[in-house]
Chain A
Amino acid sequence: MKRWMYIAWILLLMVAPGSRLMALNPESQKELKEQSEAPKKFDAGKFVMEHVMDAHEWHIMKIRETHISIPLPVILYTREKGLSVFFSSKFHHGTKAYKGYLIAQEGPHEGKIVQANSDGSINEEVPLPIDLSITKTVAAMLISMILILLVFIPLARKYVKNPGKAPSGFQSLIEPVILFVRDDIAIPSIGIHRYEKFMPYLLTAFFFILVNNLMGLVPIPPGGANVTGNIAITALLAIFSFLITTFSTNRHYWKHIFNAPGVPWWLKFPIPLMPFIELLGAFTKPLVLCIRLFANILAGHFIALSFIVMIFIFGQINWIAGYGSSIVSVLFYVFMTMLELLVAFIQAYVFTLLSAIYFGMAREESH
C-alpha cells in the first residue's frame, strides 16, 4: 500500500512540469486559448532544435514570458571595431543589438552574430565578425574538461602516493575503466609492443566522450548541452584519430592502399580502381567515426526531447490530454535516458575501439 502511494507521488511529480504550460483553472485556460490564437504558437520542431543546437546563451527555462538563461562570454573580432568581449546577456535573448552586433533571428545566418545597422536590422554588406565566443557547447565542453582534470589529476597523485597498493575509494571505480581501455581496447587492437604510445590519446578520447555523453544526459546546467552531438566536436575527434593514424603509418599501410596484395592486376591498371577505393577508405574511416558519434548522441537528445515535447503538444489540445500524455512521456523519457546511459558508454567504447583498430592497422606488418 505504501509502495502504491509512493508510485502515485512520483507520477504526480512527473506530471508537475507539464502543468506549467497547462492551465489548471478555466481563467488561465482562456488565457492560454488567447495565447494560442496569437501567432506565438508552440513550435515543437523549433523547441527541439533550440535544445540540441549551439547558442550564445545557456537557456534554462521560460516562465511565462521571462527567459531564464546563463549568459556566456561573447568574443568577436572585426577589422574595423577590433576585439570586443561582453556577455551574451547584453543581447537580451537576441532581441537587442549591442556594440553594432546582433544575433540573427532568421535568414541564412540564423543564430549567428552579425553586424547590425544603426536601426537594428542586419547589415548584409559587411562580412560576419570572427566569432570565438564561448558558446553553450564550448562552455559545456570546458566544464567537462575541468571535471576530467579534477578527477584524474588527484587520482594520479593517489597512485603516485601509494605505489604498489591495491586501489581504494574512487580509484576502484576508475581503475577498471582504465584497465578496460588498456586491456580490451588498446592491447588487442594495437598489439602489446606498441600500444603504450597511443594510450594517452585513447584514454583522453574515451573519457572526453564518456563524460560529455553523460553530462548531456543531465537535464540541468552544467549538463544538458549537446557536446558530443555537435558535428564540430565529433569531426575534430575523428580528425585527431585520422592524424594519429596517418602519422604512425609504415610502408605496409601505404602498400596496402596503392598496391593491395591479392587483388587482380586489372583492378589496379590501367584504371587504378582499387587504389582509389582504398585511398577513399582511409578518409571514410574517420568520417564514419565522426558521423556515428554525432548521429547517435544527437538522436538520443532528439528522442528524449520529443517525448517531452509531446506533453506540450497534447497540452495544447486540452489539459487532460496533457496530463495523460505526461505520464506516458515521462516513463518513455526515463526509459530513453536509461538507454542513453548505455549508449554513452557504448559510443565512447566504439569510438576508442575503432580509433585503436585504425592505429593498429597503420602499423600492421605484412601478412
Chain B
Amino acid sequence: MGLVSPDYGTIFWMVLAFSVVFFILRKYAWGPVLKMLKEREQSIEKALQSANEAREGLSRLKSDHEKMLQEAHAEHDQLIGEARQIREQLISKARDEAVQETARVFEHAQRQIENEKLAAINEIRKQVASLSVDIAEKILKRELSDRTQQETLIKEQLSDLKLN
C-alpha cells in the first residue's frame, strides 16, 4: 500500500467498476441525454428558422400588399387624370366648334342681310324710277295749267313718296 506504487487490487476494481459504469452510462445516460439535447437544439433551431421564415413571409406579404395598393392608387390617379384630360379636350373641342359654328352662322346671316339690303335698295331704286316716271308723267300732263298747281302737285307727290 505504498503512496506511489499502484495497488493491483485497486486497479482490478477500478477497471471493473469503471468499465461497467462507463457502459451503463453510455447506454442508459449519455446516449439518451446527448440525443435529446441535440434533438432539442435542432427543434429550437428549426423553430427559430421557421419563425424567421414566417416573419419574412409576412413582411413580403405586407410589402406585396403595399405595392399592390400603391399600384392601384397609381392606376386610379392615372384613370382620373385621363378622364379629366378627355373631359377638358371634349369641352374645349365643343367650345371651338360652337365658336366656329356661331361665326359661320353669323357670317351667313350678315351675307344674307347684305343681299337683302342690296335687293331692297334695287327695289327702291326701281320704284323710285317708276315713281319718278309717274310723277314726271303727271307733271307733264298738268304743267301746262298752273305754276302753283305744279308746285303743289310736286309737293303732294313727294309726300306721297315719303309715306310710301
Contact = CB atoms under 8 A, between A and B. Distances in A.
Interface of A: 49, 52-55, 110-112, 131-135, 137-138, 141-142, 145, 148-149, 152-153, 155-157, 159-160, 163-165, 175, 178-179, 182, 196, 199-201, 203-204, 208, 230-233, 235-237, 240, 298
**By DSSP majority rule, is chain A's interface helix, strand, loop, or mixed?**
helix
Interface residues of B, number: 34
A232 B10 contact: yes
B6 A235 contact: yes
The residue among B15, B21, B26 with the most chain A CB atoms within 10 A of its own CB is B21
Nearest to A131: B9
Nearest to B1: A111
Contacts of B21: 145, 148-149, 204, 208
Contacts of A199: 30, 34
B12 A152 contact: no
A298 B30 CA distance: 30
Interface in B5-38: 5-15, 17-18, 20-22, 24-26, 28-34, 36-37
Nearest to A295: B4
B144 interface: no
23 contacts: A53-B1, A110-B1, A112-B1, A135-B7, A141-B17, A142-B17, A145-B20, A152-B29, A152-B33, A153-B24, A159-B33, A160-B36, A199-B34, A200-B25, A203-B30, A204-B22, A208-B18, A208-B21, A231-B5, A231-B6, A232-B7, A236-B15, A240-B18
Given A204-B22, A231-B4, A231-B6, A156 B13 contact: no
Nearest to B23: A200
B18 A200 contact: no
A203 B5 CA distance: 27
**By DSSP majority rule, is chain B's interface helix, strand, loop, or mixed?**
helix
A163 B30 contact: no
A138 B8 CA distance: 11
A236 B139 CA distance: 175
B3 interface: yes
A55 B1 contact: yes
A236 B11 contact: yes
Contacts of B33: 152, 155-156, 159, 178
Given A132-B13, A138-B13, A153 B1 contact: no
Contacts of B5: 231
